[in-house]
Amino acid sequence: MSSKRFVGKGVIVTGGASGIGKATAERFLEEGAKVAIVDVSRKNGETTVKEFKRKGYSPILLTGDVTSAKDVKRMVREARSRLGSIDVVFNNAGILVEGTIEKVSEEDWDRIMSVNVKGPFLMSKEIIPIMLKQKKGVIVNNASCSGLVGDRNAIAYNTSKGAVVLMTKCLALDYCTENIRVNCVCPGEIDTPMFRQEAKARNMPVEEYRKQLCEYHPIGRLGKPVEVANAVLFLASDEASFITGTAFSVDGGYTCQ
């Protein structure tokens, strides 16, 4: 049951049309927030917004590229105008590139760093001045358990997520005295479209890949998008008022091995 912790709060969720972003946007809506869904795909975004509207919610859709400073400025400006305030930002948009250093191209490397690292950087750069004027705000970044440990065949992805973890800590230190908190969630394998992308890249049936990944997680299963969403909402809520700069693992025990 919703506790309505975010009534009247303005929230931006990047990569909000699918997976963890979609689940998080829905949870914020359930708890009374005014939500702006940011996504690079207008088609996917419109589908998600229509789905939410059928449930009685009224999110707004902002289409743009989080790696473009121009797009980010435009989307933040519109979000602020339409939401009234921006109290929470969930920097969730991200991509996956697999391979060893021998196989990852320079173009692949630049692309994943642009989306996974530059994206949260640009969004935070636009949001922080607004939160300073408001004298409050919360940023939650979506890192990964892959940003805390090494993985085979994942040099680009893990490096990008490790950067997000340290970006989170630096932002937290820079603005902790300004009533702005910054944390990140570090999910394990979650049952999302990205998980299916991984299976396809390995030429493996989805269920076979699922079984393999479940063995890596002590809890014995993949996570659900809503389980990560619930962690994001906790970190964004007043219940977490003494928490900043943390990398909050939501990984079924993956990183405790």
DSSP 100-152: -TTT--HHHHHHHHIIIIIHHHHHHHHHHHHHHHHT-EEEEEE--GGGTS--T
Report H helices in the chain. 19-30, 42-54, 69-83, 106-113, 119-134, 155-175, 193-201, 206-214, 225-236
User: Does 254 qualify as catalytic in the annotation?
Assistant: no
The angle that helices 193-201 and 206-214 make with each other, rounded to 10 degrees, is 100
Whether the Cβ atoms of residue 37 and residue 16 lie closer than 8 Å to each other? yes
Nearest C-alpha neighbor of 152 from the set 223, 192, 196, 98: 98
What is the spatial distance between Cα 95 and Cα 187, in angstroms, rounded to a whole number? 14
Integer Cα distance of 61 and 42 in angstroms? 8
Bridge partner residues of 163 (DSSP): none
* Residues 16/24, Cβ–Cβ less than 8 Å: yes
The rounded distance, in Å, linking the Cα atoms of 122 and 127 is 9
Q: Which of 57, 157, 175, 216 is catalytic?
A: 157
Give the angle subtended at the CA of 169 by the CAs of 167 and 175, to the nearest 5°: 100
Active site residues: 157
